[in-house]
């Protein structure tokens, strides 16, 4: 019964949402084809815009390791940090120094540049 | 009820205008940029009024029709010193720059209140390339990439990548002549691979620019140097404003235009320069890109030549400038950043010369050879140099290509001064001639 009520609520909510979207648009025709063409300052595209674009997964993966994975190791480290004291700080410092070499390398290669 | 209330509210808002920058329309657009209540937008999709400022050569009327049809309904057109297209015989034409803002606002209000019908669509409402429902995915062919959906071939990785070996599909588009980020009138066929410019073929040369009348007078008789130098500084400030707007620094662009509008020998550039440094404008361009060698720099002339270290300035030949102890400023790098440093240095120098010349009441003496802000005008006017970008832009990323393009002043100088009411759309247009020459 409760499930049915929830279902009706969902139906009414979705119906209302669609109605609100449909009402103002009901008498408007689709924009014309020339209006829908991409704006190129009067020019026309020659090829279709369905072009494959490389996301460059490899640098993304390296960045994930450089920024996220070190955080993962820092959680257990934080637990034993008080027991171990200075030794833990030194070890984590070395670990972060090695990882930051990767970040500096990535920076030099321009992976942080928004493209 | 609600709709009428909304449309009344819309009528009170600022007027979104898409400017089509034609031949000799720039001066009016600079004034319009500073007019409150008028907003110049960069895409016809954001506009409710299409303003054709200046003449458009007949061979570009098709491109103009395409831009016209990209405005959303309802919209109006306004023609400033330009002959409306034959289909739009009843369109409003304005020739007086002072009446332009008022006419724009009236047209917008009438449009929003429904007192004025929308401009008719000029192109037939049919798909440019009809859908071909062939193949497994309706892509019009066999195999994954074998189709021509909507009649256009799929982008393919036909070219080797010239950046890092990661080949992407290359996309070929025809840009311009009315793209706001390009110089007015410049049209090009561009192949992009991702954001990398793979090839750039200039198809239409930019429209000739109209200089202020004082430069044309200086070719005929001596003119006050103060006036000449102020006009020069104004020209460079307006170019700077264009680049700043392109870089997304809208407020600085307005400031630069405002400085240009109220320019006097007592104006100071330090404030603007400080803000430019602070907002990172010079850092945007310090990529060492857009480097011109000596031959290319000489071909472009003017600021670009001096930014590449060539000490060429016709003002040094003028005895009156000699009395002002004029020596040309030069940079050495010849890249985009050097050109902007050079532009700012020249504005400062011009203001200083104007101050000195006004105090001493000096007039220019040489009329055979004058240095226009666009370049040297000796035996002939500075000509179109848009050919240099075909070799310069490939290999640059899109943002670098656009900042490089904005830093270069490539258009020829028009034979008409800025203020004359001249019908260039119908008369043998300078732009049409230049375009013909390029194609030949």
CATH number at residue B355: 1.10.645.10
A44–B173 CB contact, under 8 Å:
yes
What is the count of structural domains for chain B?
3
In this structure, is residue B291 part of a structural domain?
A: yes
Query: What residues of chain A lie within 8 A of the CB of B45, using their CB?
Result: 39
Domain C-terminal end among B94, B112, B130: B112
Measure B118 CA to nearest chain A CA, in Å.
14
B140 to chain A, any CB pair closer than 8 A? The answer is: no
B155–A44 CB contact, under 8 Å:
no
CATH number reported for the structural domain that contains residue B48 in this entry? 3.40.50.12280
Please report the pLDDT score of residue B440 as a whole number: 36
What average pLDDT does this structure show over B289-298?
A: 88
Which tokens hold the place of B285? Answer: 């361009």
Percent of chain B with pLDDT over 90: 50
Statement to judge: residues B238 and B196 lie in one domain: no
In this structure, is residue B146 part of a structural domain?
A: no
Statement to judge: residues B166 and B236 lie in one domain: no
In this structure, is residue B133 part of a structural domain?
A: no
> Which residue from A minimizes the CA distance to B72?
A35
Q: CA-CA distance, B160 to B417, in Å (whole number)?
A: 47
> Which residue from A minimizes the CA distance to B120?
A32
> Which residue from B minimizes the CA distance to A24?
B3
Statement to judge: residues B391 and B283 lie in one domain: yes
In this structure, is residue B149 part of a structural domain?
A: no
Q: How confident is the model at residue B435 (pLDDT cuts 50, 70, 90)?
A: very low
Statement to judge: residues B282 and B399 lie in one domain: yes
Which tokens hold the place of A16? Answer: 């209302």
Domain C-terminal end among B167, B183, B204: B204
In this structure, is residue B120 part of a structural domain?
A: no
B67–A51 CB contact, under 8 Å:
no
B155–A35 CB contact, under 8 Å:
no
A42–B177 CB contact, under 8 Å:
yes
pLDDT at B229 over 80: yes
**Which residues contact residue B44 at a Cβ distance below 8 angstroms, ignoring those fewer than 6 apart?**
A39, B18, B50, B67, B70, B71
Statement to judge: residues B260 and B408 lie in one domain: yes
Query: What residues of chain A lie within 8 A of the CB of B66, using their CB?
Result: 34, 37, 42, 44
Statement to judge: residues B420 and B310 lie in one domain: yes
Q: CA-CA distance, B383 to B301, in Å (whole number)?
A: 10
User: With contact defined as beta carbons under 8 Å apart, do B406 and B392 qualify?
Assistant: no
pLDDT at B139 over 70: no
B178–A42 CB contact, under 8 Å:
yes
Domain C-terminal end among B187, B204, B221: B204
A48–B176 CB contact, under 8 Å:
no
> Which residue from A minimizes the CA distance to B186?
A41
Query: What residues of chain B lie within 8 A of the CB of A31, using their CB?
Result: 72-73
pLDDT at B159 over 70: no
In this structure, is residue B129 part of a structural domain?
A: no
Q: How confident is the model at residue B439 (pLDDT cuts 50, 70, 90)?
A: very low
pTM: 0.83
Statement to judge: residues B330 and B288 lie in one domain: yes
Query: What residues of chain B lie within 8 A of the CB of A39, using their CB?
Result: 43-45, 67, 70
Could you tell me which of B180, B143, B191, B118 has the C-alpha nearest to residue B390?
B191
Structural domain of residue B192, as residue ranges? 155-204
Q: What residues of A are in the B interface, CB distance below 8 Å? A: 31-35, 37, 39-54, 56, 115
**How many Å from the N-terminal Cα to the C-terminal Cα in chain A?**
53
Statement to judge: residues B381 and B420 lie in one domain: yes
pLDDT at B38 over 70: yes
B180–A40 CB contact, under 8 Å:
no
Torsions phi, psi of B51, nearest 5? -105, 115
Statement to judge: residues B102 and B248 lie in one domain: no
Which tokens hold the place of B116? Answer: 């004025």
Statement to judge: residues B250 and B349 lie in one domain: yes
Q: Are strands B38-40 and B76-80 parallel, antiparallel or unpaired?
A: unpaired
pLDDT digits 0-9 by tens, A3-39: 999 999 999 999 999 999 988 888 778 888 889 888 9
Torsions phi, psi of B52, nearest 5? -95, 105
Please report the pLDDT score of residue A27 as a whole number: 79
Statement to judge: residues B200 and B94 lie in one domain: no
- Omega before B74 within 30 of 0, i.e. cis: yes
In this structure, is residue B174 part of a structural domain?
A: yes
What average pLDDT does this structure show over B121-134?
A: 76
In this structure, is residue B147 part of a structural domain?
A: no
What average pLDDT does this structure show over B342-365?
A: 92
Statement to judge: residues B243 and B186 lie in one domain: no
Higher pLDDT, B164 or B116: B116
B121–A48 CB contact, under 8 Å:
no
pLDDT at B416 over 60: yes
Please report the pLDDT score of residue B438 as a whole number: 40
């Amino acid at each position: 019964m409760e499930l049915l009520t929830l279902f009706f609520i969902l139906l009414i909510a979705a119906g209302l949402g669609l109605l609100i979207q449909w009402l103002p648009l009901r008498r408007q025709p689709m924009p014309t084809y020339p209006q829908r063409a991409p704006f190129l300052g009067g020019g026309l595209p020659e090829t279709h815009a369905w072009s494959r674009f490389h996301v460059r997964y490899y640098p993304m993966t390296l960045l994930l390791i450089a920024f996220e994975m070190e955080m993962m190791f820092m959680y257990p480290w934080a637990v034993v940090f008080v027991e171990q004291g200075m030794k833990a700080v030194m070890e984590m410092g070395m670990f972060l120094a090695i990882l930051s070499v990767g970040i500096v390398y990535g920076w030099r290669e321009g992976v942080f540049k928004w493209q | 009820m609600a709709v009428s209330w909304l449309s009344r509210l819309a009528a009170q808002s600022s007027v979104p205008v898409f400017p089509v920058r034609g031949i000799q329309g720039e001066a009016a657009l600079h004034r319009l940029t500073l007019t409150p209540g008028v907003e110049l937008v960069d895409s016809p999709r954001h506009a409710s009024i299409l303003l054709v400022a200046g003449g458009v050569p007949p061979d570009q009327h098709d491109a103009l029709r395409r831009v016209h049809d990209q405005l959303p309904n309802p919209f109006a057109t306004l023609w400033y010193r330009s002959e409306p297209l034959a289909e739009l015989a009843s369109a409003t034409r304005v020739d007086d720059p002072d009446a332009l803002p008022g006419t724009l606002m009236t047209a917008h209000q009438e449009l929003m209140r429904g007192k004025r019908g929308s401009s008719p669509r000029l192109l037939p409402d049919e798909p440019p390339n009809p859908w071909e429902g062939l193949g497994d995915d309706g892509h019009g062919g066999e195999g994954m990439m074998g189709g021509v959906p909507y009649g256009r071939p799929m982008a393919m990785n036909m070219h080797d990548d010239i950046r890092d070996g990661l080949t992407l599909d290359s996309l070929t588009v025809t840009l311009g002549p009315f793209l706001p980020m390009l110089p007015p009138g410049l049209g090009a066929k561009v192949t992009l691979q991702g954001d990398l410019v793979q090839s750039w073929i200039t198809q239409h040369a930019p429209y000739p620019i109209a200089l202020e009348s004082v430069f044309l007078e200086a070719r005929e008789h001596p003119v006050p140097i103060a006036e000449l130098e102020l006009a020069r500084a104004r020209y460079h400030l307006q170019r700077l404003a264009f680049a700043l707007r392109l870089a997304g620094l809208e407020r600085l662009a307005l400031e630069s235009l405002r400085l240009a509008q109220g320019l006097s020998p007592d104006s100071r550039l330090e404030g603007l320069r400080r803000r430019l440094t602070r907002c990172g404008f010079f850092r945007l361009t310090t990529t060492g890109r857009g480097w011109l060698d000596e031959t290319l720099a000489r071909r472009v002339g003017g600021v670009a030549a001096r930014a590449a270290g060539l000490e060429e300035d016709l003002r040094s030949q003028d005895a009156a400038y000699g009395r002002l102890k004029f020596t040309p400023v030069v940079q050495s790098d010849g890249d985009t950043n050097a050109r902007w440093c050079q532009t700012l240095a020249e504005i400062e120098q011009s203001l200083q010369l104007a101050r000195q010349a006004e105090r001493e009441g000096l007039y220019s003496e040489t009329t055979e050879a004058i240095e226009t802000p666009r370049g040297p005008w000796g035996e002939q006017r500075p000509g179109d140099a848009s050919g240099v970008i075909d070799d310069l832009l490939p290999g640059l990323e899109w943002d670098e290509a656009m900042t490089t393009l904005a830093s270069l002043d490539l258009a020829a100088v028009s034979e008409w001064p800025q203020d004359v009411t001249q019908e260039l759309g119908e008369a043998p247009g300078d732009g049409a001639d230049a375009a013909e020459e390029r194609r030949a």
